Every structure is written in structure tokens, then in C-alpha cells.
Copies of this chain bind each other. A is one copy, B any other.
Amino acid sequence: MPLKRWLVGNPLKTALATHQRLSKRLALAVFSSDSLSSVAYATEEILLVLIPSSLAFAHFSIPISLTIILLLAILTLSYSQIVFEYPGGGGAYIVSKSNLGEWPGLIAAASLIIDYVLTVAVSVAAGIAAITSAVPSLFPHRTVLGVFAILIVLLVNLRGVRESGKVFAVPTYMFIGAMLLMLAVGTYQLLFGQLTPVVSQNVAAQTAVESVSLFLLLRAFASGCTALTGVEVISNGVPSFRPPEPKNAAITMIMMALVLGILFFGISTMAYHLEIVPKEDETVVSQIARAIFGEGVLYYLIQASTMLILVLAANSAFAGFPRLASLLARDGYMPRQMELMGDRLVFSNGIIILGVFSCLLIVMFGGDTHALIPLYAVGVFLSFTLSQAGMVCRWLDKRGPHWQNKIIINGIGAIATTIATTIIASTKFMQGAWLVFILILVLVWMFRSVHSHYKAVVDQITLTRDHRPPLPRRNIVVIPINGVNQAVLRAVDYARSRPGEIRAVMVDVDPQSTARIQIQWAQWGCGVNLIALPSPYRSVLGSLIDYIEEILEKEPDIWVTVVIPEILPAHWWQGILHNQRALLLKTALLFKERIILTDVPFHLKK
């Protein structure tokens, strides 16, 4: 398959697998893009909840952002403990399963799977929004652009993880740099009064001051929590780090949290001071950048790097999802195919499935970030909660040095994430979170079904003490023929290649042709016995089957091999021109014990 090779590269040897590890710098590019990129939409989602109620509520975005950053700090601390405790990769699935049991583990896995798919969809939709903010003429094509972006990420990932790291390091650091520059320039301009608030059309219209409701604030908090999605990605990916894996992973995670906190707080503050109102066709970040840099090169740099890091965020899910699927497959909760590495040392099946489902979401939701957000974050926070709760149980059970301190850290994490999950689930329930709960139930049910099927298979094929190695048995070879030709001769040639009893069998439909075939057989039959079966009904098939079943009845301990001379046409559409007798015979004999079918194909050239 030259096309496949050109697209995904040549196969890599297994021995190369351990070299495919990431330095901290590359790992930050691969694993942190999910978190960092969420600053592109998190502030906007908070404002989208607050401002439609009243412009006067916009200032609540600052305390809400600070609360989310506090939550980020708690999570980062909690997760560093997990990284050290699970150097083999401590995703929510593993942590919950090993400490809380099978069901919580499966619920965590289901939540994560849903969120991986949503990460791809949301990130790509937001990335495309960054582009269409800069180039408004592309706005109507955002669905197609989104699907196209996913396909590119899919291909890059099928090529393998190290190349992904290399490809993506530059844009990640470009994004961080550009954002920091924007915030620095913006702060300077604000301090020296060079920056004036963006005049919005809506400002004049809204003047009535209403009192803020707690529900509104909680909903704004819930929307902002999307900023924290992706924090867990590193804990899943510990084995991809260079040794010592846990330490490198923890350092990378803290770095990531720092950058994320700074960017998120900076953008929220800047949006507040510039009095920015979310628009349908331009993102908040784009409005900020336009206010600070005008329409110059730096503005486009911000938009381009935002788009790129969002695509990287999608990529981060492509690194995480197949790993999780592989773990689930290894434990027998997903089809076995998911476990295998492809020939480029990546889990090809998982990558492809993720690509397909996220494309579906993009198409279903018309490539609109805001429409996808209510589904997002519920699953992530559910898995956060399960992980932290699992760690608390672990310390209670295992103890070890400083276990009290550790239990406090994970305990605070567990309590904080439980509260956040409850807030997110309740404020977003009607807008889509209900769907996520249903999907989690469905996925858990699927995991259980797959698991019990595999268990049933093992029970049925395992060799026990009651089994004995089989004693040698006889084998009668039957070759059904309806003429003497090269295809039949080939089947006879094959059957004769091993010693044993061989019988060519024909059905006597018409005495004349039977006699002719018998004469030809004398010349060509290689001494194989030819039996002509009577056929009172014209059913050739029925007579053959009766004959074979008779053999089986007479000798209850032999095999019967039916060697079928099959003429295979050169083109598939010619198949209709040949009697489907071979097919019918095979279908009729397929489910009989002790009958083994062997096709000896004779390939036509034209």
C-alpha cells in the first residue's frame, strides 16, 4: 500500500519504542496544549454567561477566574502525587479501578473517553473560530475547515508520537510567547493610559442594573472550568517521558499550571478592563489582540498561534485516547484490536476511532464551540473526583511515609472537585450534561458486555485437566466435481499431496454426461476413485450433502475434508455468471462438526 506508506511512513521496529520518549520541553508541547489552549475560550464562556444578564456583571469574571485558578493549584498538587504513585501512567481509570473498584474505574474511563472526543471537537471548533475571527469570509465554511483540521491531526498521529512532538513544539512556544507579549504590551498600555475600552454596540442598549443571582455565578464558574480540562493528560502519559519519568512529568505539570494560570488570569483581566462583549463571529481573544496590536502582523501572529495550539490540544487527545483504549482493551473492556500498536508504534485503531467521532461532533454541532461547551467538562471533573477519591482511599489503605500530608492534599482535591462537579452537572444539566450522563451509562454497559463476552470465550476454549491431547483420527477427502477440467485437476493434485483416502464425487443428473465424465476420469483422475451419486431430485447440492452426512454417520470419529475446486473469475462482476454451487455447498456445510471445507481456487486470467 504505497499510499498508506506515503501518508504514515515506513514501519518502525519494536526496539525503537523506548527511544520514542519525550524531553520535558517536547512533552510540554505535546501534553500541555490541551490546558493552555483552553484560555482561548474559557474567559469568553464566563462572559457569555454573565453579560447577557447585565453588562454590570462583567466584573464578576475576575473573582470567578481567581477561583478557577485556585482550583487549578489544588488539582496540580493532587495530580503530582498521582504521577509519583503511578509511574506507569495514572489516568483516572487506573487510579479509580485500583483503589475504588471496577465500577468507579469504568465510570472514570467512560467520562474520559467522552471528554477526549469533546476535546478534539471543542479545540478544533475554537481553533477555526480563531481563524474566522481574523478572516471573516471563512466563517460560513467552519464545519468543513474543522473536519479538514481533524483529518490533518489524524494523519500526523498515525505517523507516530515523536514526530508529533517535533512538529508541535514550535507553535506551542510561539503561542506562549505571543500571549505573554500581548499581555505585557496590554498591561503597559493600560498603565500608561494608551488603551481605551472597546466600544460595543450593546453598551448603549443595556443600562438597567439587576441583582446577580448565585445560580448565574455558579453557571459562569462552571463554564470557566473548561479552562482546567487537560490537566490530567500528563498523568496518563507518564511513560512517554524520559527517565526519571515521574519527576519529569511532575515538573512539566507544574510548569504547565503556572503558564496556564498566568495566561488565563491575564486574558480575563484584560477582557474586563477593555470592557469586551462576546460576539458570534469574533472571539474575545481576537478582540483583545485587535485592541492592543491593531490589525498588524502581531495580531495575526496571536490568531495563528491560537489556532495552532488549539489544533495541538486536539492532538493531545489523540495521544491520550488510544492509550486509554489500549488499557481498557488489555483489561478486556474494549475490543482486543484496540490493544495493538500499529506498525508506526502508535495505537492506530484508537486514533482512527477518535478522529471519526470528533468529526461527527463537529458536523452535528455545525462547528460551533459554544454549542459544544455544555457537554464538555462534566466528564473531566467526574474523572478528577474519582481519581482524587481513589488516592484518598489508597493512602488510607497503604499508608507509607507522610501519608497524612498526602491524604490532606488529595482530600482537598477530592472535596474541591466534588463541589465543582456538582456545580457543573447541576448548572449545565438541561443544556447537554444529561446527554453525557446517558453516554457514560451506555459506555459502562458496553465495557461490561465486552468483558463478560471475553470471559465466556476463555471459559469455553481453556484447556482444563479434563481435556486430553486428541488421539489420531482418520480423514476422508471428498472432491465434488461436475466435469473434468483444469480446475478439478488442480483440486485432485492438491488432495493427493498428502496420503489418505480420497473420493471424487459427482451427481448423476443426466446419464449421458455422467458416462462422458467417467471416461475422461479414467484418463485424468490420477487413480482417484470417482463415485456417481444418484439424484432423484434435481438437487445436486442435496445429494452431495446427503452423501457427506452419511459418511459422518457411519464413522462417528473421522474428519471429512471437502475439497472444492472453485473457479474464480478475473473480475468480481463475472461472479454472477457462475453457478453459486460452491458457495451454496460451503454455506450448507459451514456449521457441521467434523466437516472441514477447503477451497482450491483456480484463477481465471480474463
Residues on A lying within 8 angstroms of B by beta carbon are 11-15, 335-337, 340-343, 345, 450, 453-454, 456-457, 460-463, 467, 469-470, 472-475, 477, 484-487, 489-490, 492-494, 496-500, 520, 523-526, 535-539, 542, 558-559, 561, 567, 569, 574, 576-580, 590-591, 596-606
Contact = CB atoms under 8 A, between A and B. Distances in A.
A559 B486 contact: no
A473 to B, nearest CB: 5
Contacts of A580: 337
A180 to B, nearest CB: 42
B457 A604 contact: yes
B536 A15 contact: yes
B485 A473 contact: no
B598 A454 contact: no
A472 B496 contact: yes
Contacts of A462: 485-486
A472 B526 CA distance: 9
Given A469-B489, A486-B463, A524-B469, A537 B14 contact: yes
B453 A472 contact: no
B473 A486 contact: no
Contacts of A470: 489-490, 492-493, 496, 526
Contacts of A13: 536-537
A489 B463 contact: yes
A498 B559 CA distance: 10
23 contacts: A11-B539, A14-B536, A15-B536, A335-B576, A335-B577, A337-B580, A340-B579, A341-B538, A343-B538, A343-B539, A457-B578, A461-B567, A461-B602, A462-B486, A469-B523, A469-B524, A472-B496, A474-B497, A494-B559, A494-B596, A498-B498, A591-B603, A597-B598
A538 to B, nearest CB: 5
A445 to B, nearest CB: 14
A606 B456 contact: yes
Nearest to A340: B538
Contacts of A475: 494, 497-498
Contacts of A457: 567, 569, 578, 604
A498 B496 contact: no
A454 B569 CA distance: 11
Contacts of A450: 577
B596 A596 contact: no
A597 B12 CA distance: 29
Nearest to A597: B599
B474 A461 contact: no
A493 B576 CA distance: 37
A486 B469 contact: no
A158 to B, nearest CB: 15
Contacts of A603: 591
Contacts of A341: 538
Nearest to A535: B14
Nearest to A337: B579
A534 to B, nearest CB: 10
Given A336-B578, A340-B579, A470-B492, 7 more contacts: A456-B604, A457-B604, A460-B486, A462-B486, A467-B489, A470-B526, A472-B497
A580 B499 CA distance: 32
List 8 A-B pairs, minimum CB-CB distance, nearest first: A475-B497, A470-B493, A461-B485, A498-B500, A498-B498, A461-B486, A13-B536, A11-B537
Centre residue among A12, A472, A497 by max chain B CB count within 10 A: A497
A577 B469 contact: no
Given A598-B596, A604-B456, A336 B497 contact: no
Contacts of A537: 11-14, 343
A470 B222 CA distance: 79
Contact of A577 (B454, B486, B539): B454
A84 to B, nearest CB: 27
A61 B539 CA distance: 54
Contacts of A600: 596
Contacts of A489: 463, 467, 469-470
Contact of A485 (B463, B487, B498, B558): B463
Centre residue among A336, A558, A605 by max chain B CB count within 10 A: A336
Contacts of A477: 498
A305 B11 CA distance: 76
A140 B106 CA distance: 57
Contacts of A520: 463
A268 B567 CA distance: 59
Contacts of A340: 538, 579
A486 B466 CA distance: 12
Given A485-B461, A498-B500, A537-B13, A473 B493 contact: yes
A474 to B, nearest CB: 6
Nearest to A595: B601
Centre residue among A453, A477, A591 by max chain B CB count within 10 A: A453
Contacts of A526: 469-470
Contacts of A473: 493, 496-497
A453 B578 CA distance: 10
Contacts of A605: 460
A13 B12 CA distance: 64
A477 B475 CA distance: 15
Centre residue among A538, A569, A574, A599 by max chain B CB count within 10 A: A538
